[in-house]
């Protein structure tokens, strides 16, 4: 009887282990590289244009339009031409404690109501920008503006330019709001005479 010569399998198992390890490392690298941007998008989606923030911005829009309808001379709060207007919030110490006021309210008739609406207890607004509907100019100019927070600049950079819309939107403005809880939202605004 012939003896069967045994093949040494130790080298084969070692090579097979290396191939499988390289394959698993490649799959893990692929998954990590593709899921990391998804996590960043999730962070943005968590704070950008949430339903609650959209409702808050709509309340500001309705209030500003109501004020303008009652007194057309206040339309200047929306007039931007090709520029943008920044309305920052600031703290004021009163007999009742510290209150949050906004520069937008300083330009409206019902200043106290506006400051209460935008203050700590209700909408808690940090910054408001009123800009033209198409954001190309704003996106270019906001990068060097030191009066705007970095987080709001990132949100504006995240927004589309809206340049493909027809010329009828040239009469519209865009209301962009940063809230103190880290949320951001925007809405278009148009004041119609009459």
- What pLDDT score does 30 carry? 84
For residues 5 and 162, give the distance between their C-alpha atoms in angstroms, rounded to a whole number: 76
**By CB neighbour count within 10 A (0-12 exposed, 13-18 middle, 19+ buried), where does 95 fall?**
exposed
Q: Mean pLDDT over all residues of the chain? A: 82
For the stretch 132-159, pLDDT in tens is 888 888 888 888 888 888 888 989 888 8
- Beta bridge partners of residue 28, listed in sequence order: none
Domain ranges of the chain: 8-47, 51-189
Q: Identify the helix (H) or strand (E) that includes residue 126.
A: strand 125-132
- What pLDDT score does 80 carry? 60
- What pLDDT score does 8 carry? 63
pTM over 0.95: no
**How far is the CA of 149 from the CAs of 10, 49, 75, 146, in angstroms?**
63, 17, 26, 7
For the stretch 47-73, pLDDT in tens is 788 888 999 999 988 888 888 888 777
CB neighbours (10 Å) of residue 49?
17
Ranked by mean pLDDT, the top range of 17-31, 38-52, 158-172 is 17-31
Q: Are 172 and 133 in contact (CB under 8 A)?
A: yes
For the stretch 8-17, pLDDT in tens is 666 677 888 8
């Amino acid at each position: 009887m012939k003896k069967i010569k045994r093949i040494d399998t130790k080298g084969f198992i070692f090579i097979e282990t290396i191939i499988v390890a390289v394959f698993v490392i490649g799959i893990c690298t692929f998954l990590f590289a593709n899921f990391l941007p998804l996590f960043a998008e999730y962070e943005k989606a968590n704070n950008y244009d949430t339903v609650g923030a959209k409702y808050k911005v709509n309340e500001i829009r309705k209030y500003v339009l109501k004020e303008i309808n009652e007194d057309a001379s206040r339309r200047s709060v929306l007039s931007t031409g090709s520029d943008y207007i920044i309305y920052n919030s600031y703290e004021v110490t009163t007999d009742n404690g510290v209150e949050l006021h906004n520069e937008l309210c300083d330009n409206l008739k019902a200043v106290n109501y506006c400051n209460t609406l935008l203050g700590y207890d209700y909408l808690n607004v940090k910054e408001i920008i009123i800009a033209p509907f198409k954001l190309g100019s704003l996106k270019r100019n906001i990068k060097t503006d030191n009066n705007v927070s970095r987080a709001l600049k990132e949100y504006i950079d995240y927004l589309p330019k809206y340049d493909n819309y027809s010329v009828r939107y040239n009469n519209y403005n865009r209301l962009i709001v940063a809230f103190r809880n880290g949320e951001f939202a925007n809405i278009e605004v148009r004041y119609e005479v009459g």
